[in-house]
């Protein structure tokens, strides 16, 4: 909210109405031993002008950085209308719309978002949302295991999938007795190693995950992989940066029958980079799996007078409190992020998304050309990519990034901690927000940082 509207008189009137002497009495059930008491390190309250001055000073101290970071968090242009509308009170303060008769606006918005995500992924159904891409992927794996007729409890996951997604998956499904088998990538192409994949299929498995693009920005060959997995009676989970789907074939169209599930993070659609979150997981599936889907699903109908209406469908509210019998115990609805994402998608439309995706891809190609012209810098993989790519430096990456940071540049992600076998590897990303001057500025700064760094 832009301000707190309650005056002392308002507060007093509300307390009188409920027969309470003071605000502290509202919390008298908390044992005294658990109360903090005074807060000596908290400064005195500031007025609005003082707060604005303080926050301006801190923002200026942080500075504005030219960012070439990606790896799951992307700096795309967000039209001003997105958050001007999303922070209206009727959206900003609403929660899951259990009471359809009082929540038609929110329900319609969620329905429209689901429709757009289902269309973008080529799937039949989308849920409302999940925490983030990593937990959406874990939910997709749980769905696949429940639905697989082989009753196999193994899933094949490429090691080129985002490291955080893989770590989250192991944390969640490890308690379900599901074995996560990591498939190595080919060091020349950056794609799934097909020989290793064949070896892993010697035992039955429930699902194969395909990242498109993968963590390296590399585009896989999902048609052949999807048909191969289906030939093994396994399901296919497509994990995608949704911005890429404006240009590349969506999961629902892979192979002869399409992938069975699609998931990822919708952060590129209207969600700003805000110090680690929030994010917005999407999860879509084919109609045959809809009963296995966790989270909220909004459906459209008509009332007795023929007017359109919207409601939560396929599951009652009690579904979310059924403990072991629930489809999930970890999902929640990122309603405000869905609101922003739906507005963002509506404003851009398919042509706008294609334009942003194409500009991001073109910018990454231009940057890569400039970077590999620097002595000692080389591309790591030879495959097509979207708007991220891995380069190898002649010197340690950490020191180079520190020098760039001193020039207010976020020079990419050091992936040595995740993939030490790739050497001094740096993942760089370009979005439509970067100009030709930005690319030149970064290229020159990287060249200088390499020269100044010890081998």
**Using one digit for the tens of pLDDT, what is the confidence trace for 277-318?**
899 999 999 999 998 898 889 999 998 899 999 998 886 555
pLDDT computed for residue 94 by the predictor: 74
Q: Under a CB-based contact definition with an 8 Å cutoff, are residues 285 and 143 in contact?
A: yes
Percentage of the chain exceeding pLDDT 90: 75
Please state the rounded mean pLDDT for residues 111-131. 95
For residue 263, the surrounding DSSP H or E stretch is strand 261-265
Task: Say yes or no to pLDDT of 96 above 80.
Answer: no
- Model confidence at 100, in pLDDT bands (50, 70, 90)? confident
pLDDT of 256-288, one tens digit each? 999 999 999 999 999 999 877 899 999 999 999
User: For residues 454 and 393, is the Cβ–Cβ distance under 8 A?
Assistant: no
User: pTM of the prediction?
Assistant: 0.88
Location of each CATH 3.90.1150.10 domain in the chain: 66-77+350-452
Could you report the per-residue pLDDT of 340-390, keeping only the tens digit for each? 999 999 999 999 999 999 999 999 999 999 999 999 999 999 999 999 999
Residue 75 has pLDDT above 90, yes or no: yes
pLDDT digits (tens, 9 = 90+) for 403-445: 999 999 999 999 999 999 999 999 999 999 999 999 999 999 9
Rounded to whole angstroms, how far apart are CA atoms 455 and 452?
Answer: 9
Query: Taking the CA of residue 87 as centre, how many other CA atoms within 13 Å lie in the half-sphere pointing to its CB?
Result: 10
Q: What is the pLDDT of residues 315-332, one digit of tens each?
A: 655 555 666 677 776 767
CA distance 76 to 429: 11
Domain(s) labelled CATH 3.40.640.10 in the chain stretch across 80-343
CA neighbor of 259 nearest in space, from 272, 248, 270, 249: 249
CA distance 241 to 211: 9
Q: How confident is the model at residue 1 (pLDDT cuts 50, 70, 90)?
A: very low
Euclidean distance between CA atoms 341 and 289, whole angstroms: 25
* Nearest partner of 254 among 222, 279, 280, 296, judged by Cα: 222
- Mean pLDDT score across all residues of the chain: 92
pLDDT at 19: 94
The pLDDT tens digits for 9-31 are 999 999 999 999 999 899 888 99
* Among candidate residues 222, 187, 141, the one with its CA nearest the CA of residue 420: 187
Q: Are 374 and 395 in contact (CB under 8 A)?
A: no
Collapsing DSSP to helix, strand or coil, 143 comes out as: helix
The pLDDT of residue 323 is: 66
Structure confidence at residue 37 as a pLDDT band (50, 70, 90): confident
**Do the Cβ atoms of 419 and 184 come closer than 8 Å?**
no
**Category of 84 on φ-ψ map: left (φ > 0), alpha (ψ -120 to 50) or beta:** alpha
> In whole angstroms, what is the distance from residue 96 CA to residue 130 CA?
12
Is 66-77+350-452 a domain of CATH 1.10.520.10?
no
The architecture that CATH gives domain 80-343 is 3-Layer(aba) Sandwich (3.40)
pLDDT reported for residue 45? 87
Name every residue whose Cβ is closer than 8 Å to that of residue 414 and which is 6 or more positions away in sequence: 397, 398, 401, 425, 426
Alpha-carbon span 74 to 413, nearest angstrom: 12
């Amino acid at each position: 909210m832009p301000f707190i509207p309650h005056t002392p008189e308002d507060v007093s009137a509300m307390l009188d109405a409920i027969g309470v002497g003071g605000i502290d009495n509202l919390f008298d059930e908390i044992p005294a031993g658990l109360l903090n008491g005074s807060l000596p390190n908290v400064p005195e309250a500031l007025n609005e002008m003082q707060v604005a001055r303080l926050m301006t000073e801190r923002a200026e101290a942080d500075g504005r950085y030219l960012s070439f970071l990606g790896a799951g968090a992307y700096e795309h242009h967000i039209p001003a209308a997105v958050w001007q509308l999303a922070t209206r009170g009727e959206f900003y303060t609403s929660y899951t719309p259990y009471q359809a008769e009082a929540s038609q606006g929110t329900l319609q918005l969620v329905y429209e978002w689901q429709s757009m995500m289902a269309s973008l992924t080529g799937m039949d159904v989308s849920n409302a949302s999940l925490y983030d891409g990593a937990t959406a992927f874990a939910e997709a794996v749980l769905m696949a295991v429940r639905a697989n007729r082989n009753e196999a409890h193994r899933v094949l996951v490429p090691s080129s999938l985002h490291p955080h997604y893989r770590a989250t998956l192991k944390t969640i499904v490890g308690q379900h007795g599901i074995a996560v088998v990591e498939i190595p990538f080919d060091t020349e192409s950056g794609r799934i190693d097909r020989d290793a994949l064949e070896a892993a299929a010697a035992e039955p498995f429930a699902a194969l995950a395909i990242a498109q693009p993968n963590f390296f920005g590399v585009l896989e060959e999902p048609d052949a992989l999807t048909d191969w997995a289906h030939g093994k009676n396994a399901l296919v989970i497509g994990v995608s940066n949704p911005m890429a789907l404006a240009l590349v074939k969506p999961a629902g169209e892979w192979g002869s029958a399409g992938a069975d599930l699609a998931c990822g993070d919708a952060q590129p659609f209207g969600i700003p980079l805000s110090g680690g979150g929030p994010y917005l997981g999407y999860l879509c599936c084919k109609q045959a799996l809809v009963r296995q889907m966790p989270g909220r699903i909004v459906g459209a109908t008509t009332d007795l007078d023929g007017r359109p209406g919207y409601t939560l469908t396929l599951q009652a509210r009690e579904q979310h409190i059924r403990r072991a019998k629930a489809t999930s115990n970890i999902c929640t609805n990122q309603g405000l992020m869905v609101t922003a994402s739906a507005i963002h998608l509506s404003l851009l439309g398919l042509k706008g998304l294609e334009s942003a995706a194409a500009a991001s891809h073109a910018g990454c190609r231009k940057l890569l050309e400039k970077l590999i012209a620097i002595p000692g810098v080389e591309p790591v993989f030879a495959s097509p990519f979207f708007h991220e790519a891995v380069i190898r430096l002649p010197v340690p990456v950490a020191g180079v990034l520190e020098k760039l940071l001193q020039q207010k540049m976020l020079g990419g992600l050091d992936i040595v901690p995740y993939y030490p076998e790739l050497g001094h590897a740096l993942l760089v990303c370009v979005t439509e927000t970067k100009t030709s001057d930005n690319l030149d500025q970064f290229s020159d700064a990287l060249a200088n940082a390499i020269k100044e760094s010890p081998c």
